[in-house]
């Protein structure tokens, strides 16, 4: 019997998390050696008390990890991955848009030998804003991460033990888990699943959080912005040389429609804007380097509720992992 871990980052899910865990327990606790890891990313509703009760009702199956502030979905997943002991780890959202009944499809598919299996949705029930954000994110990931064009980087996926061990080696304070996965393995499967409409709360992804996620992807996994700035600078140098030669010719042969002041100001503003853009991109890289040197944490764990047997297993896994890394 395979041991299956289900990792769920939880944020303001008081209406859904008990229903989700109840469905997962009834569907899979008999067929698999099941564990569920709940990571509370500093919810402001009654999620904490509900998760504590879920752990107390199922102490041998449900592990509850409490974060002292909101770190974000990917940081919460990194925290939870450090408590995963299963052969396979399913990652899913807490809002019931990923039907628990579909988890079995992922487990069956990854047993074919893949390192990771992503889901895709024939019909997605998100808002227009979320669908547009997902399409933009997919385009950026295809360009920067060089992922297969037809691969959708869904938050609903399953990875094997090898990939869990590789992911948690990364200590970047701004992790992007799908970027780590795509850079680690090409053994990727996909499976079609249903996608439900959101029944209770609205999405926790604001525009600011989406922009931050895109920034993590761009800066942490690609030098493309710097190279783009270099290409733009080279083209502008060529343009400046050609423009200077043209104005020299125009001065001696044809009267110009623009005054010298207008010409100088337009060129000056254009170059100053490019310099500011290049500085902002370079500053982003320097800021990330500073964070790495400053050792900003990926996550901070306030409390972990788990069973003594689980604690012993995790200690053994970490010891083996450290020995392997050396």
Higher-confidence position of 256 and 191 = 191
Q: How many CB atoms lie within 10 A of CB 136?
A: 12
Higher-confidence position of 284 and 110 = 110
**The pLDDT value given to residue 253:** 67
**The pLDDT value given to residue 307:** 76
Mean pLDDT of 161-189: 92
Confidence class for position 323, pLDDT limits 50, 70, 90 = very low
Mean pLDDT of 155-170: 95
**The pLDDT value given to residue 326:** 32
Q: What is the DSSP string of 192-240?
A: E---PPP-SSPPS--HHHHHHHHHHHHHHH--HHHHHHHHHHHHHHHHH
Task: Give per-residue pLDDT as tens, 2-44.
Answer: 999 999 999 999 999 999 999 999 999 999 999 999 999 999 9
Task: Give the range among 98-102, 208-212, 270-274 with minimum mean pLDDT.
Answer: 208-212
**Is the pLDDT confidence value at 194 over 90?**
yes
**Is the pLDDT confidence value at 284 over 50?**
yes
**Is the pLDDT confidence value at 325 over 50?**
no
Residue with tokens 């893949």: 114
Cα 205 vs. chain centroid, distance in angstroms? 12
Distances (CA, A) of 209 to 2, 154, 205, 216: 36, 17, 6, 11
Confidence class for position 174, pLDDT limits 50, 70, 90 = confident
Task: Give per-residue pLDDT as tens, 37-64.
Answer: 999 999 999 999 999 999 999 999 999 9
Mean pLDDT of the chain: 82
Which of helix, strand or coil describes residue 157?
strand
Q: What are phi and psi of 34, to 5 degrees?
A: -95, 140
Higher-confidence position of 292 and 306 = 306
Cα 179 vs. chain centroid, distance in angstroms? 7
Mean pLDDT of 115-121: 95
Is the CB of residue 18 less than 8 Å from the CB of residue 27? no
Task: Give the range among 7-16, 143-152, 157-166, 206-215 with minimum mean pLDDT.
Answer: 206-215
What is the spatial distance between Cα 289 and Cα 75, in angstroms, rounded to a whole number?
18
């Amino acid at each position: 019997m395979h041991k299956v871990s289900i990792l769920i980052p939880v944020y303001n899910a008081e209406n859904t998390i008990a229903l989700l865990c109840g469905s997962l327990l009834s569907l899979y606790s008999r067929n698999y050696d099941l564990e569920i890891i709940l990571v509370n990313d500093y919810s402001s509703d009654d999620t904490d008390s509900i998760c504590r009760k879920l752990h107390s009702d199922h102490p041998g199956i449900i592990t509850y990890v409490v974060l002292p502030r909101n770190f974000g979905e990917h940081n919460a997943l990194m925290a939870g991955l450090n408590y995963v002991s299963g052969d396979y780890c399913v990652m899913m959202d807490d809002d019931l848009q990923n039907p628990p009944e579909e988890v079995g499809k992922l487990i069956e598919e990854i047993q074919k030998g893949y390192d990771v299996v992503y889901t895709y949705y024939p019909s997605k029930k998100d808002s227009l804003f979320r669908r547009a954000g997902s399409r933009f994110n997919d385009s950026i990931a295809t360009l920067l991460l060089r992922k297969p064009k037809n691969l959708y980087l869904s938050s609903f996926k399953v990875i094997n033990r090898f990939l869990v061990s590789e992911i948690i080696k990364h200590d970047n304070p701004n992790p992007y888990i799908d970027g780590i996965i795509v850079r680690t393995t090409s053994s990727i499967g996909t499976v079609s699943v249903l996608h439900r409409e959101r029944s209770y709360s609205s999405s926790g992804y604001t525009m600011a959080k989406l922009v931050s996620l895109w920034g993590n992807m761009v800066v942490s996994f690609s030098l493309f912005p710097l190279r783009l700035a270099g290409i733009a600078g080279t083209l502008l140098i060529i343009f400046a040389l050609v423009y200077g030669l043209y104005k020299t010719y125009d001065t001696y042969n044809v009267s110009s429609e623009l005054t010298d002041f207008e010409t100088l100001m337009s060129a000056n503003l254009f170059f100053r804007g490019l310099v500011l853009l290049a500085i902002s991109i370079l500053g982003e890289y320097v800021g990330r380097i500073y964070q790495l040197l400053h050792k900003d944490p990926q996550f901070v764990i306030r409390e972990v509720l788990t069973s003594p047997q689980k604690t012993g297993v995790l200690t053994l896994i970490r010891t083996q992992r450290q020995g392997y890394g050396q």
